[in-house]
Amino acid sequence: MGASLPAFVRRPEILWSALAVAIAAAVVTVFLVVPGNSADAQVYRDPEAPIAERVEDLVGRMTIEEKVGQMTQAVVGAVDAYPGDITDLGIGSLLSGGSDALHDTPEAWAEMIDGYQRDALDTRLGIPLVYGIDAVHGNTALPGAVVFPHNIGLGAAHDPELAGRAAAITAEETRVAGVHWNFAPCVCVARDSRWGRTYESYGEDPGLAVEYAPSVVQGYQGDDLTANTSVLATAKHYVGDGGTEYGTSTTEDYLLDQGVVTLTEAELRSIHLAPFRTAVDAGVGSVMVSFSSVDLGYGPLKTHGDEYLISGVLKGELGFDGFVVSDWQGVDQISEDYAESVRTAINAGIDMVMVPFEYRTFISTLLAEVEAGRVSESRIDDAVSRILTQKFALGLFEQPYADTSGAADVGSDEHRAVAREAAAASQVLLRNEDDLLPLAGDESIYVAGSGADSLGRQLGGWSGSWQGSVEAVNEGTSILAGLEQVAPGAAITYSEDASEPIGDADVGIVVVAEDPYAEGLGDAGAGEHDMLVSDEDAAAIEAVCGEIDCVVIVVSGRPIEIEPHLDDVDALVAAWLPGSEGAGVADPLFGETPYDGRLPVSWPRLVDDEPLNVGDDGYDPLYPLGYGLQT
Ligand code: BGC
Ligand code: BGC
């Protein structure tokens, strides 16, 4: 009987040795066939291993193509045209541009981003992608999200702690939608209010950005980047973006934005570099390079190609160990020759390139540069290591997909209360004859002006779209609705152009406003935005203030030329771009909170007085830096 059984039943050791041979063969095959793959456990997949070891292990397994893929950031619309590319090219990052407000709910955003993430995980090594957006004053790409005052208003509040709380809420309302990375804060120091990005700055005094940067970075990143309430922060734009000289821009019709900063190195360091130092010390995960050029006396050099400033100063001297991202097509501006642009940018120290359209060309160009030996593999390894370090820190290898469990908190009353508090704290009272303010709340009030009932104007640029729009897409309360809410006992008549009869109103409130704009399209003189009171608003001031006691509230991203209109004005308030909570503008008007804000920029008499900064020879502003009456 026994003799008819198969050999391995009679002698089980045959089976074991056959198995052992098979296993050994498999191990050898894996070892030989998969590049960089050793028979040991995959350290990079081990959540218990230190991040540095995981990074080293992973980089050791990557091909040059996979590395260059990690350094590539594409805009969603561009990859949508080639659905296989995220997987085939191993693209490391995607972004939504300022106008890519694609979905109405956190769940719909998350579903889209999770879809791209699946494609990224479908690669040989399964490296997750990192998704970025400009949630510069709230996640405005999500209509129901709360919108905070733009930075200039937060600077007026002189309260970095409050700005940090606002940032933490923005982080929560951003990560819940599947987005991991925020292109904020701008730690720019606006030295000429004609700059279209003045409102993205905390003010002309570098001390403000120096103080705000750590608090806001901490607000975005939290104590733990893996948390569903944290996003990777970006200090931008490195360096000198707010110091460009009028007329030096060569981009389209821009005048200041993307232009040239001409300073001594000592000035550049004390004014524009200082906030990056505190942002780096606070652990900011990424830094975005500025479109502008710096001229330290040797001719202008595009910052995107400036090895001294990026590798020498930022990474070397300041010890920045996060990654450096270029700005939107910013690399292209270095040279007419694209290969030269790419080579110069990467060699200067840029780690990830916001291409964001022609990413296939970027990838093939960088690969050819490496092949030719003009970009070293060690530079590539450094770039990729920095990017992967932040991906591990974000916990993306363990939790690549969105966690929308906090979706119900988006735009909650609690979050809106903080935005209202920030709006109220940012109001600056510039004139208050006969203590007209605060109002009692039981008056008969006549309200006029283009900013009174315009959520879009009080949100400004970077709100639902790149340039923002008069017709807001975000949810919120206009200033008029805020007045009605805070003073239910007041009898309010509203007429935007002041054409309704003023009758026996006790007091007028004229809310003048700039229309929304962003970047160089908002440079004063470049287009429609000239820092002047519009004819309609000027007529409203005249009609109302010529008749009755009146308050003028200025809704703007920067000082405007108001002096010629002040003759009959009793009280004047700078409201900046207060965001979605118009009640915050009404609070101090009716004494619910004090007026406590102070000017974060000098207020010129005339637009032509710019650039105007405290300490300038012959400094003669309408209101100086730091001015603000208290109630
Ligand atoms: C801006 C950046 C922004 C990027 C992505 C650029 O035009 O300068 O501040 O983060 O676009 O939208
Ligand atoms: C994008 C912005 C970007 C800008 C730069 C816009 O189309 O939406 O994100 O900053 O272009 O020119």
Kindly report, residue by residue over 427-439, the tens digit of the pLDDT: 999 999 999 999 9
Tell me the ligand closest to 235's alpha carbon.
1
State the average pLDDT over residues 461-470: 97
Look up the domain containing 18 and give its range: 2-32
Closest ligand 2 atom to 95 CA? 9
Atom 12 of ligand 2, residue of closest alpha carbon: 328
Could you identify the residue written with the tokens 């942002």?
279
DSSP string, 295-312: ESSS--EEGGG-HIIIII
Statement: residue 16 has pLDDT above 60: no
Q: What is the percent of the chain where pLDDT is above 70? A: 94
State the average pLDDT over residues 305-317: 98
Tell me the ligand closest to 289's alpha carbon.
1
The alpha carbon of 265 and the centre of ligand 1 are apart by a number of angstroms equal to: 26
Is 208 inside any structural domain? no
Kindly report, residue by residue over 61-85, the tens digit of the pLDDT: 999 999 999 999 999 999 999 989 9
Structure tokens at 316: 């070397």
State the average pLDDT over residues 85-100: 96
Instruction: Look at residue 460 in the predicted model and tell me its pLDDT.
Output: 98
Is 329 inside any structural domain? no
Tell me the ligand closest to 292's alpha carbon.
1
Mutate which of 466, 467, 521, 523 for ligand 2? The one with the most ligand atoms within 8 Å of its CB, which is: 466
- Would you give the DSSP letter of residue 317? I
Is 13 inside any structural domain? yes
Q: Among 455, 450, 606, 604, which Cα is nearest to 541's?
A: 450
Q: Which residues lie below 8 Å from residue 1, measured CB to CB, with a gap of 6+?
A: none
Atom 8 of ligand 1, residue of closest alpha carbon: 327
Kindly report, residue by residue over 567-582, the tens digit of the pLDDT: 999 999 999 999 999 9
Query: Which protein residues touch ligand 2 with a CB less than 6 Å away?
Result: 97-99, 328, 466
Structure tokens at 534: 């519009």
Give the pLDDT band of residue 210 (cuts 50, 70, 90): very high
Is 326 inside any structural domain? no
The alpha carbon of 467 and the centre of ligand 2 are apart by a number of angstroms equal to: 9
**Distance between CA atoms of 271 and 269, rounded to whole angstroms?**
6
Tell me the ligand closest to 252's alpha carbon.
2
Instruction: Look at residue 40 in the predicted model and tell me its pLDDT.
Output: 66
Instruction: Look at residue 11 in the predicted model and tell me its pLDDT.
Output: 56
Is 600 inside any structural domain? yes
Give the pLDDT band of residue 101 (cuts 50, 70, 90): confident
Atom 11 of ligand 1, residue of closest alpha carbon: 328
Instruction: Look at residue 78 in the predicted model and tell me its pLDDT.
Output: 97
Statement: residue 32 has pLDDT above 70: no
Tell me the ligand closest to 196's alpha carbon.
1
Closest ligand 1 atom to 291 CA? 8
Instruction: Look at residue 18 in the predicted model and tell me its pLDDT.
Output: 56
Atom 4 of ligand 1, residue of closest alpha carbon: 328
The alpha carbon of 357 and the centre of ligand 2 are apart by a number of angstroms equal to: 11
Instruction: Look at residue 36 in the predicted model and tell me its pLDDT.
Output: 47
Statement: residue 353 has pLDDT above 60: yes
Is 301 inside any structural domain? no
Kindly report, residue by residue over 286-300, the tens digit of the pLDDT: 999 999 999 999 999
Instruction: Look at residue 272 in the predicted model and tell me its pLDDT.
Output: 98
Statement: residue 7 has pLDDT above 60: no
Statement: residue 4 has pLDDT above 70: no
**Distance between CA atoms of 426 and 301, rounded to whole angstroms?**
37
Instruction: Look at residue 102 in the predicted model and tell me its pLDDT.
Output: 83
The alpha carbon of 508 and the centre of ligand 2 are apart by a number of angstroms equal to: 39
Closest ligand 1 atom to 466 CA? 12
Statement: residue 31 has pLDDT above 70: no
Closest ligand 1 atom to 234 CA? 10
The alpha carbon of 522 and the centre of ligand 2 are apart by a number of angstroms equal to: 13
Mutate which of 73, 76, 99, 292 for ligand 2? The one with the most ligand atoms within 8 Å of its CB, which is: 99
Alpha helices (runs of H) in 434-581, residue ranges in sequence order = 455-459, 479-486, 535-545
Closest ligand 1 atom to 184 CA? 10
**Distance between CA atoms of 186 and 577, rounded to whole angstroms?**
16
Statement: residue 24 has pLDDT above 90: no
Give the pLDDT band of residue 205 (cuts 50, 70, 90): very high
Quote the number of domains for the chain: 2
Query: Which protein residues touch ligand 1 with a CB less than 6 Å away?
Result: 97-98, 134, 183, 236, 327-328
Atom 5 of ligand 1, residue of closest alpha carbon: 97
CB distance 465 to 102 below 8 Å: no
Is 561 inside any structural domain? yes
Kindly report, residue by residue over 378-422, the tens digit of the pLDDT: 999 999 999 999 999 999 999 999 999 999 999 999 999 999 999
Annotated catalytic sites, by residue?
327, 519
Q: Which residues lie below 8 Å from residue 325, measured CB to CB, with a gap of 6+?
A: 73, 234, 286, 287, 288, 289, 350, 351, 352, 353, 354
Give the pLDDT band of residue 28 (cuts 50, 70, 90): very low
Instruction: Look at residue 314 in the predicted model and tell me its pLDDT.
Output: 99
State the average pLDDT over residues 194-223: 98
CB distance 371 to 134 below 8 Å: no
Instruction: Look at residue 41 in the predicted model and tell me its pLDDT.
Output: 84
CATH of the domain at 442: 3.40.50.1700
The alpha carbon of 97 and the centre of ligand 1 are apart by a number of angstroms equal to: 7
Mean pLDDT of the chain: 95
**Distance between CA atoms of 574 and 553, rounded to whole angstroms?**
6
The alpha carbon of 328 and the centre of ligand 1 are apart by a number of angstroms equal to: 6
Instruction: Look at residue 30 in the predicted model and tell me its pLDDT.
Output: 47
The alpha carbon of 352 and the centre of ligand 1 are apart by a number of angstroms equal to: 14
Give the pLDDT band of residue 26 (cuts 50, 70, 90): low
Q: Which residues lie below 8 Å from residue 526, measured CB to CB, with a gap of 6+?
A: 196, 253, 254, 255, 520
CB distance 494 to 448 below 8 Å: yes
Is 448 inside any structural domain? yes
Instruction: Look at residue 33 in the predicted model and tell me its pLDDT.
Output: 46
Mutate which of 200, 328, 467 for ligand 2? The one with the most ligand atoms within 8 Å of its CB, which is: 328
Q: Among 102, 144, 133, which Cα is nearest to 409's?
A: 144
State the average pLDDT over residues 114-139: 98
What CA–CA distances, in Å, run from 490 to 496, 541, 548, 588, 594?
18, 21, 16, 15, 19
Instruction: Look at residue 19 in the predicted model and tell me its pLDDT.
Output: 55
